[in-house]
Amino acid sequence: MAKPKSEPTPAMKAAEKARAAYDAARKLHAKQANDANLKAVATARTALSEATNKVNRERFENIAGGRVAKALTVIGSLRNCANRRSYQYESDDVSTMFTALETELKNAKAEFDKALTVTPSDKKATGAAKFTFGK
Protein backbone atom coordinates (compact mmCIF):
# COMPACT_ATOMS: atom_id res chain seq x y z
CA MET A 1 0.00 0.00 0.00
CA ALA A 2 1.37 3.39 -1.00
CA LYS A 3 2.19 5.91 1.69
CA PRO A 4 -0.32 8.79 1.61
CA LYS A 5 1.13 12.03 0.32
CA SER A 6 1.44 14.63 3.06
CA GLU A 7 0.26 18.20 2.78
CA PRO A 8 2.86 20.66 1.49
CA THR A 9 4.63 22.52 4.26
CA PRO A 10 4.88 26.33 4.27
CA ALA A 11 8.48 25.97 3.06
CA MET A 12 7.34 23.79 0.14
CA LYS A 13 4.64 26.31 -0.80
CA ALA A 14 7.19 29.14 -0.67
CA ALA A 15 9.54 27.13 -2.90
CA GLU A 16 6.73 26.55 -5.42
CA LYS A 17 6.00 30.29 -5.53
CA ALA A 18 9.69 31.08 -5.89
CA ARG A 19 9.97 28.56 -8.76
CA ALA A 20 7.00 30.18 -10.53
CA ALA A 21 8.50 33.66 -10.07
CA TYR A 22 11.87 32.48 -11.38
CA ASP A 23 10.29 30.82 -14.43
CA ALA A 24 8.26 33.97 -15.16
CA ALA A 25 11.36 36.17 -14.88
CA ARG A 26 13.31 33.90 -17.23
CA LYS A 27 10.50 33.95 -19.81
CA LEU A 28 10.28 37.73 -19.65
CA HIS A 29 14.05 38.05 -20.04
CA ALA A 30 13.95 35.65 -23.00
CA LYS A 31 11.37 37.86 -24.72
CA GLN A 32 13.07 41.14 -23.92
CA ALA A 33 16.66 40.98 -22.73
CA ASN A 34 17.62 44.04 -20.72
CA ASP A 35 19.37 44.87 -17.46
CA ALA A 36 16.14 45.17 -15.47
CA ASN A 37 14.93 41.76 -16.59
CA LEU A 38 18.34 40.23 -15.96
CA LYS A 39 18.32 41.65 -12.43
CA ALA A 40 14.80 40.23 -11.91
CA VAL A 41 16.06 36.79 -12.97
CA ALA A 42 19.01 37.01 -10.55
CA THR A 43 16.75 38.11 -7.68
CA ALA A 44 14.26 35.34 -8.42
CA ARG A 45 17.09 32.78 -8.63
CA THR A 46 18.35 33.86 -5.20
CA ALA A 47 14.86 33.61 -3.71
CA LEU A 48 14.41 30.16 -5.27
CA SER A 49 17.75 29.00 -3.89
CA GLU A 50 16.86 30.20 -0.38
CA ALA A 51 13.42 28.57 -0.53
CA THR A 52 14.92 25.31 -1.79
CA ASN A 53 17.47 25.36 1.04
CA LYS A 54 14.64 25.70 3.57
CA VAL A 55 12.79 22.73 2.06
CA ASN A 56 15.97 20.64 2.03
CA ARG A 57 16.68 21.55 5.66
CA GLU A 58 13.13 20.63 6.66
CA ARG A 59 13.41 17.28 4.85
CA PHE A 60 16.77 16.58 6.51
CA GLU A 61 15.39 17.28 9.97
CA ASN A 62 12.35 15.06 9.40
CA ILE A 63 14.13 12.13 7.77
CA ALA A 64 17.43 12.17 9.67
CA GLY A 65 15.68 12.84 12.95
CA GLY A 66 13.41 9.84 12.46
CA ARG A 67 16.25 7.58 11.42
CA VAL A 68 18.40 8.58 14.39
CA ALA A 69 15.47 7.95 16.74
CA LYS A 70 14.98 4.47 15.22
CA ALA A 71 18.69 3.70 15.46
CA LEU A 72 18.79 4.76 19.10
CA THR A 73 15.77 2.58 19.88
CA VAL A 74 17.31 -0.47 18.20
CA ILE A 75 20.70 0.09 19.82
CA GLY A 76 18.99 0.56 23.17
CA SER A 77 17.19 -2.75 22.75
CA LEU A 78 20.57 -4.40 22.19
CA ARG A 79 21.26 -3.80 25.89
CA ASN A 80 18.68 -6.46 26.65
CA CYS A 81 21.00 -9.02 25.09
CA ALA A 82 23.54 -8.34 27.87
CA ASN A 83 21.40 -10.37 30.28
CA ARG A 84 23.60 -13.41 31.02
CA ARG A 85 20.63 -15.34 32.44
CA SER A 86 18.87 -15.23 29.09
CA TYR A 87 21.76 -15.22 26.62
CA GLN A 88 25.06 -17.03 26.21
CA TYR A 89 27.88 -15.02 24.63
CA GLU A 90 31.61 -14.55 24.84
CA SER A 91 33.85 -11.52 24.91
CA ASP A 92 34.65 -12.06 21.20
CA ASP A 93 30.94 -11.89 20.37
CA VAL A 94 30.62 -8.53 22.11
CA SER A 95 33.74 -7.22 20.37
CA THR A 96 32.43 -8.36 16.97
CA MET A 97 29.06 -6.66 17.51
CA PHE A 98 30.48 -3.37 18.67
CA THR A 99 33.22 -3.32 16.04
CA ALA A 100 30.53 -3.65 13.37
CA LEU A 101 28.44 -0.87 14.93
CA GLU A 102 31.43 1.44 15.40
CA THR A 103 32.61 0.82 11.84
CA GLU A 104 29.20 1.66 10.40
CA LEU A 105 28.95 4.83 12.52
CA LYS A 106 32.47 5.85 11.47
CA ASN A 107 31.58 5.31 7.78
CA ALA A 108 28.35 7.29 8.10
CA LYS A 109 30.13 10.18 9.82
CA ALA A 110 32.85 10.13 7.15
CA GLU A 111 30.16 10.59 4.47
CA PHE A 112 28.78 13.62 6.31
CA ASP A 113 32.27 15.06 6.83
CA LYS A 114 33.07 14.53 3.15
CA ALA A 115 29.83 16.22 2.07
CA LEU A 116 30.51 19.17 4.37
CA THR A 117 33.96 19.79 2.87
CA VAL A 118 32.99 19.48 -0.81
CA THR A 119 31.89 22.73 -2.41
CA PRO A 120 29.91 22.99 -5.67
CA SER A 121 33.07 24.12 -7.47
CA ASP A 122 34.91 21.03 -6.14
CA LYS A 123 32.29 18.80 -7.77
CA LYS A 124 33.04 20.38 -11.16
CA ALA A 125 36.82 20.07 -10.80
CA THR A 126 38.55 17.68 -13.14
CA GLY A 127 40.99 16.06 -10.75
CA ALA A 128 42.94 19.21 -9.92
CA ALA A 129 44.54 19.28 -6.48
CA LYS A 130 42.51 21.02 -3.80
CA PHE A 131 44.11 23.83 -1.82
CA THR A 132 42.82 25.88 1.09
CA PHE A 133 44.47 28.12 3.63
CA GLY A 134 42.50 26.35 6.35
CA LYS A 135 39.80 27.59 8.58
Query: Between the CA atoms of 12, 18, 19 and 22, what dihedral angle is there, to the nearest 10 degrees?
Result: -170
Of the candidates 25, 28, 27, 5, the residue with the CA atom closest to the CA atom of residue 17: 25
Of the candidates 1, 48, 3, 60, the residue with the CA atom closest to the CA atom of residue 21: 48
6 has pLDDT over 90: no
Q: Which of 23-27, 85-89, 102-106, 119-123 bottoms out in mean pLDDT, i.e. has the lowest?
A: 119-123
Of the candidates 54, 56, 53, 67, the residue with the CA atom closest to the CA atom of residue 108: 67
125 has pLDDT over 60: no
What is the rounded distance in angstroms from the CA atom of residue 22 to the CA atom of residue 51?
Answer: 12
Q: Which of 25-34, 59-68, 79-88, 98-107 bottoms out in mean pLDDT, i.e. has the lowest?
A: 25-34
Give 76-118 pLDDT, tens digit per residue: 999 999 999 999 999 999 999 999 999 999 999 999 999 999 7
How confident is the model at residue 123, as a pLDDT? 59
